[in-house]
Amino acid sequence: MYDTSDIRKGLKVLMDGNPYNVIEFQFVKPGKGAAFTRTKFKNLLTGAVVERNIRSGEKLEPANVETKDMQFLYKEGDGLVFMDQTSYEQVTIAQDLIGDAHDLMKDNMPCTVVFFNERPVDITLPTFVFLEVTASEPGVAGNTAAGNVTKAATVETGATVQVPLFIKVGETIKIDTRSHEYVERVNK
Amino acid sequence: MRGRVLAVDDRTAIVRCADVDVRVPDAPAAWQPGDLVDGDAVVRAFGAPYPPPGSEVARLPRARVEAIRARAAALTKVRAFFAERGFLEVETPLVVPSPGLEIHLDAVPAGDGYLITSPEYAMKRLLAAGFDKIVQVCKCFRANEHGPHHAGEFTMIEWYRAYADIEAIAADTEQLVHTVCGDHARVGERRISVVPPWQRISVRDAMQRWAGITVRGDEPAAELVAEIRRAGIAVAGDLAWDDAFFTAWLARVEPEIAALDHAILVEDWPVPLAALAREKPGDPATALRFEAYIGGLELANAFDELVDADVQRARFEAEQVARAERGRPVYPIDDKLLAALAEGLPPSSGIALGFDRLAMLATGVATIGEVLTFTTAER
C-alpha cells in the first residue's frame, strides 16, 4: 500500500476498481486541520480526471499496471501489431486506443504501452514524428484573413495535416503527435 | 591568462578566467566543458563578470531578488505599523520544553526540548506578567510541512491585545494587510481587494452555502460523516470529527473561498476546532476564532483567548490523549503556562499571521520558496 508520502506524478493506484495515474499533487493543510495531499488522478481506462484530497495516514492501493517499451510493427485491419522489445513477444492492440494519432504511426516506431491487469490500456507515441509529404496542392493564396497561411498535406502514413504554403511533396516534416500539428520542415 | 570552459548551454558558455566567470554568447560550437581557451580574449570581448562562485544570492533569478527586497520592505512596514500603535516587540525562546500540543502539528526536536511551532504559550505568559500589547516576529518550525504554501521553517507575526476582544484583532489584521499590500493583494495575475472592512462569514454558513452541509459542532463524528456523504462527498466512515470536517471543507468550501476577489474572515468555528479559543457567550458549540483568507491563501488565525486554567488543562490533557491515539509524539504539558493562567490572564485576544504568505500576497508569487532567501532544498 502507498501512503501520502509516496504520491508523485506517474504513481499508478487502484480506486474503486479502476487504475489511475497521478498527474498533479499538492500539499495542503488547513489551519488546525490534518495534512492532505490534493491529488489529481487520470483514469487510465476512460481518461477522466478526478480530484481527491488524500488525508495524511490514508492508504492507496497500488494498481497492477506495467509500462513496456514496444515497437510498432504494422497495421492489420483495425489492429496495431506491436513487439515487446525485451521479450520479442507480439501483441495486437485495437487502434481505437490511441484515438486519431493512429494515422501518424510509422512502421518500427518505438512506443510505450501501459498494461492494466495485462490488458493494454494506453499507448504513448514519441512526441514528434518525422514523416514525408506524399500529396499536397502547390502553394496558392490561402486563407490569409485569419493570419493562417496554410494548406492541407497528406503524409506517408495517410494522415492529413495543415502545413505552410512552402511545403512541397517529397519533403519531410516534423509533427507533434499530441496535437496532430505540423511543427517544422526538416532538411534531410 | 588561460580560461576554462565551465558550462555550455545551447551556444552560451561560461568561462572561468582567473577569478571571474564570464558569459560568452554564441560560443564556438566546438567548445566543451573543461576546454582551455584564451582567457584574455574572452575577458576583452565579454568582460562583464558573471556572478562568481560562492555568491549564491547573486545567482538567484532576478525575480527572486526583487521578491526578497519586497519582503524586506514589507517587514519594515509591519514593524512601523505595530510601533505606531504602541505595541512592544518581544522575543521569546525558540527552544522550549513544551511545544504546542495541537494535534496536527509536529515539532522538531532540538537540544533538550523542541523548536517552537508558534510562540503563543510564552507570549501568553507575558500577558499574564502585565504586558498589554505585544508583538513578535520570529521563526517557527513544523515537521513534515512542505508545499507551495508551506515551509518547514517560516516566519510568524504574532500579536496580542490584553483587555481587548477579537474584533480589535480583526481590525488590526485588516489594517496591517492594507498597509503592506495597498488596496489589492496579488496572487499571480489576480488582484484581490483587501480594503477594510472585509467580508465575514461564519463556518456554518460557509459549509451550508458552498457544500450544502449542516454543521452543528456538538454532533458525534459519525453523524457529521453521514451529513457529508449526503452532500455527495466521498469520506471514510471511521474519521474523527475534525478530519471529516476538513475533508468536506477542502473539497467544496476552500476552492470557493479561494476564488473570491476580496479578502474574507471566516469566523465562529465549531468548538471541536476551537484549540485555544474561548467559547462564544451563550453559544457553547461555537468558539471565538477567525481565519483570514486572501485569494486561496490562509493568512492568519485569531482567538479570543481561553483564560481559564482548568478548562485549558482539560483541553491539553484531551489533546495528549488524542495525539497518543493517533500515534503522534506526545509532548509535555506547559505547567508554567497553566500556572500563569491560574494567577490571572486578563481577557485577551491574539493572532498568528504567516509573514511569508503576506510577502507572497505583496509580490504575487505562486510559491512560498520565492519569498525565501533560501528554501529547504537550498540551505
Do B147 and A26 make contact, defined as CB atoms within 8 angstroms?
Answer: yes
Rounded to 5 degrees, what are φ and ψ at A99?
60, -145
ipTM value: 0.77
Residue A167 is classified by DSSP as -
Q: Touching check for B150 and chain A: CB below 8 Å?
A: yes
How close, in Å, is residue B359 to chain A by CA atoms?
Answer: 19
Do A31 and B298 make contact, defined as CB atoms within 8 angstroms?
Answer: yes
DSSP letters of A117-135?
Answer: TTEEEEEE--SEEEEEEEE
Same domain, A13 and A48: yes
Q: Is B179 helix (H, G, I), strand (E, B) or coil?
A: helix
CA-CA distance, A62 to A65, in Å (whole number)? 8
Residue A55 reports pLDDT greater than 50: yes
Task: Tell me which residue range forms the domain holding A102.
Answer: 65-124
Count Cα atoms within 13 angstroms, Cβ side, for B113.
Answer: 16
- Give me the CATH number covering residue A49: 2.30.30.30
pLDDT in tens, B268-301: 999 889 878 999 999 989 999 999 999 999 999 9
Same domain, A88 and A103: yes
pLDDT at position B48, please? 55
pLDDT in tens, B68-80: 999 999 999 999 9
pLDDT at position B43, please? 75
CA-nearest residue to B240 within chain A is A34
Q: Identify how many contiguous H helices and E strands chain A contains and give both numbers.
A: 0, 16
Confidence of residue A57 (pLDDT cuts 50, 70, 90): confident
Do B301 and A31 make contact, defined as CB atoms within 8 angstroms?
Answer: yes
pLDDT in tens, B136-164: 999 999 998 988 999 999 999 999 999 99
Q: Which residue has the higher pLDDT, A57 or B120?
A: B120
Same domain, A101 and A143: no
Residue B213 is classified by DSSP as -
Among A32, A41, A58, the residue to mutate for chain B (most B Cβ within 10 A): A32
pLDDT in tens, B92-123: 999 999 998 888 999 999 999 999 999 999 99
Do A29 and B254 make contact, defined as CB atoms within 8 angstroms?
Answer: no
Check: CB of residue B71 under 8 Å from CB of residue B359: yes
Question: Which of these three, A102, A124, A146, is where a domain ends?
Answer: A124
What is the torsional sign of CA B351, B356, B361, B362? Answer: positive
Residue A40 reports pLDDT greater than 80: yes
Q: Touching check for B102 and chain A: CB below 8 Å?
A: yes
Residues of B in contact with A29 (CB under 8 A): 104, 145, 147, 150
Confidence of residue B353 (pLDDT cuts 50, 70, 90): very high
pLDDT at position B237, please? 84
Average pLDDT, chain B: 91
Do A32 and B247 make contact, defined as CB atoms within 8 angstroms?
Answer: no
* Adjacent-strand bridge partners of B192: B185
Confidence of residue B53 (pLDDT cuts 50, 70, 90): very low
Cα distances (angstroms) measured from residue B60 to each of A158, B69, B146, B148: 49, 13, 21, 19
pLDDT at position B55, please? 47
Residues of A in contact with B315 (CB under 8 A): none
With 0-12 CB in 10 A as exposed, 13-18 as middle and 19+ as buried, what is A171?
middle
Q: Which residue has the higher pLDDT, A37 or A188?
A: A37
Same domain, A134 and A182: yes
Check: CB of residue A162 under 8 Å from CB of residue A182: yes
Domain ranges of chain B: 2-56, 60-198+262-378
- Give me the CATH number covering residue A113: 2.40.50.140
H helices of chain B, in order, are 39-46, 62-84, 120-128, 166-181, 203-211, 221-230, 241-248, 254-259, 309-325, 335-344, 355-363
Q: Which of B143, B159, B160 is nearest to B151 (CA)?
A: B143
Architecture of domain B60-198+262-378: 2-Layer Sandwich (3.30)
Q: Touching check for B291 and chain A: CB below 8 Å?
A: yes
Question: Which of these three, A35, A62, A89, is where a domain ends?
Answer: A62
Check: CB of residue A159 under 8 Å from CB of residue A180: yes
How close, in Å, is residue B102 to chain A by CA atoms?
Answer: 7
Which residues of chain B from 27 to 46 reach within 8 Å of chain A, CB to CB? none
Given strand A128-136, what is the order of strands in its sheet? A160-164, A150-155, A128-136, A172-176, A181-186
C-alpha cell at B28: 564556438
Residue B229 reports pLDDT greater than 60: yes
CB atoms near residue B282 (< 10 Å)? 6
C-alpha cell at B158: 504574532
- How many domains is chain A built from? 3
Residues of A in contact with B298 (CB under 8 A): 30-31
pLDDT in tens, A126-154: 989 999 999 988 766 555 555 557 889 99
How close, in Å, is residue A129 to chain B by CA atoms?
Answer: 23
Same domain, A116 and A139: no
C-alpha cell at B284: 457553547
